[in-house]
Amino acid sequence: MSAHAVIFYVFAAITVGSAAIVVFARSLIYSAFALLFTFFGVAGLYVLLGADFLAATQLLIYVGGILVLLLFGVMLTHKLYDLDLKSGVTQFFPGLIVAAGLFAILAVTARRATWAVGQGRPPAPTTADIGALFMGRYLLPFEAASILLLVALMGAAMIVRRRKDA
């Protein structure tokens, strides 16, 4: 097996194993830290696919932003004296059947379909090209994403503020 294959299997194992811990762990903090490892594994897969800018963005935004936000959410939704952050499951076996069936369908489709594999893109630095695309052809979605972030920021702040009850 080549080094490329070994590294791929290592990162794939990290990603899927941590995702399993996220879903099956009883403690919320274990789930949050396993999610951290999942994000790291996905960033490693991005690097293997030649998406270096995307891997850095993934680490910055997912690990540095979203995961911290989720941990704050875990902290703020429990009473201060309730020290065990446990999370139960509800209707586990129907959900397991649905998820297993979905995985079977997706896996069979991925194996059997004849994908239109083109000439591909050998790994190369992508940051300058992505920047040029953002400022050139895809300027409108870029600005729309900025407005969406502004609206989300305002909306989240508005939802959570404490209203002075008259």
Beta bridge partners of 86: 27
CA dihedral 146, 148, 153, 159 (to 10 degrees): 170
Binding mask 28-47 for other proteins (x = CB under 8 A): x--xx--x--xx--x--xx-
φ/ψ of residue 131, rounded to 5: -60, -45
CB of 19 to other proteins, least distance (A): 4
Please report whether residue 128 would count as binding other proteins according to CB under 8 A.
no
The residue from 118, 164, 165, 166 that contacts other proteins (CB under 8 A) is: 118
Please tell me the number of Cα atoms within 13 Å of 83 on its side-chain side.
1
Binding mask 63-82 for other proteins (x = CB under 8 A): --xx--xx-xxx-xxxx---
Q: How many residues bind other proteins (CB under 8 A)?
A: 83
Contacts of 45 (CB under 8 A, 6+ apart): 8, 11, 12, 15
Please report whether residue 114 would count as binding other proteins according to CB under 8 A.
no
Compare residues 83 and 90 and give the one whose CB is closer to other proteins.
90
CB of 120 to other proteins, least distance (A): 5
CB of 166 to other proteins, least distance (A): 18
The residue from 159, 164, 165, 166 that contacts other proteins (CB under 8 A) is: 159
Distance CA 112, CA 59 (A): 33
